[in-house]
């Protein structure tokens, strides 16, 4: 049985009726899609991110920093706990990305060879070596995870990876202190002096801290010595030449 229509279908303006209907609807009120993932997958992407991979799903790179994907939910943790843990790891992932971008940018900018003195280039190589060392340590953990030689949870990962995160913190701090000091001058000699001064002051200051571990102190010393290599070579040649 058909009921009579209140509109005259022969003369009705369907466009107008559609606009009236659309005005009463909220097409943007879309239910957010939730993705449930296992803790193991979250750990894998954390390790990838800390290795320098930006194209990941659970931790998303927005061009300047990593942020947790709000659609992700864990089988083992509450959304709040997972969010707090991921935010912490995202901070370290962002630091690694900044350090890697710095190294790549310096190596690709051939036009700034004159401004980038030998000391600055040596400093860049020193940062690159330290970041690579971190990557190697992360790769070792990833291999343990893939081989299932150890059961990892996010809490276990935080404990296992803490020395690596401390190293990332220190390398990033050195980088911020150094680049923040030399950004005010383009003079190669001035940049050389400022880089060496900052690294020497950091080395002296950190060596006096009782809480500083030998591993972290070794990082600062290695960066300083690696950066100073061109200067040592110059002084050695000068000494032999008389």
Please list the pLDDT of the chain residue by residue as tens digits (242 residues): 444 555 554 445 555 666 666 666 655 544 455 778 888 889 999 999 999 999 888 999 998 999 998 888 887 788 888 889 999 999 999 999 999 999 999 888 754 554 557 888 899 999 999 999 999 999 999 998 888 878 888 888 988 999 999 999 999 999 999 988 887 777 878 888 889 999 999 888 877 776 778 888 899 999 999 999 988 777 777 777 65
Compute, in degrees rounded to 10, the torsion defined by CA atoms 44, 52, 91, 81.
-10
User: Taking each helix axis from N to C terminus, what angle separates 214-241 and 188-207, rounded to the nearest 10 degrees?
Assistant: 140
**Can you tell me the distance from the alpha carbon of 183 to that of 126, in angstroms, rounded to the nearest whole number?**
19
Say what the pLDDT of residue 9 is: 47
Q: Are strands 72-74 and 35-37 parallel, antiparallel or unpaired?
A: parallel
Q: Name the token pair of 201.
A: 């002051």
Record the pTM.
Answer: 0.79
How far apart, in whole angstroms, are the C-alpha atoms of residue 168 and residue 232?
27
Q: For residue 135, what pLDDT is reported?
A: 95
Q: With 0-12 CB in 10 A as exposed, 13-18 as middle and 19+ as buried, what is 150? A: exposed
Question: In this predicted structure, what is the pLDDT of residue 1?
Answer: 47
pLDDT of amino acid 149: 79
What beta strand segments (E) does 94-220 contain? Answer: none
What's the pLDDT at 242?
Answer: 56
pLDDT at 221: 92
| pLDDT at residue number 29 | 45
Place of tokens 């010595």: 225
Residue 211, CA atoms < 13 Å, CB-side half-sphere: 1
The 10 Å CB-count burial string (b at 16+, else e) for 204-219 is eebeeeeeeeeebeeb
pLDDT given at position 15: 59
């Amino acid at each position: 049985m058909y009921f009579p229509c209140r509109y005259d279908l022969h003369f009705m303006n369907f466009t107008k009726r559609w606009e009236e209907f659309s005005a009463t609807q909220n097409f943007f009120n879309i239910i957010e899609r939730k993705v449930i993932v296992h803790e193991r997958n979250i750990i894998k992407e954390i390790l990838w991110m800390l290795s320098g991979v930006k194209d990941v799903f659970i931790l998303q790179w927005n061009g300047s920093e990593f942020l947790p994907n709000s659609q992700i939910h864990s089988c083992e943790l509450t959304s709040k706990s997972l969010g707090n843990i991921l935010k912490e790891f995202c901070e370290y992932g962002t630091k690694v990305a900044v350090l890697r971008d710095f190294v790549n940018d310096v190596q690709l900018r051939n036009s700034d060879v004159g401004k980038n003195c030998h000391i600055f280039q040596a400093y860049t190589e020193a940062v690159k070596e330290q970041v690579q060392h971190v990557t190697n340590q992360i790769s070792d953990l990833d291999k343990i995870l893939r081989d299932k030689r150890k059961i990892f949870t996010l809490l276990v990962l935080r404990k296992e990876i803490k020395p690596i995160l401390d190293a990332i913190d220190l390398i990033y701090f050195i980088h911020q202190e150094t680049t923040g000091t030399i950004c005010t001058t383009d003079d190669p000699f001035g940049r050389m002096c400022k880089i060496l001064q900052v690294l020497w002051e950091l080395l002296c200051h950190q060596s006096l801290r009782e809480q500083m571990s030998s591993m972290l102190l070794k990082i600062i010393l290695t960066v300083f010595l690696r950066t100073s290599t061109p200067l040592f070579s110059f002084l050695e040649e000068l000494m032999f030449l008389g």
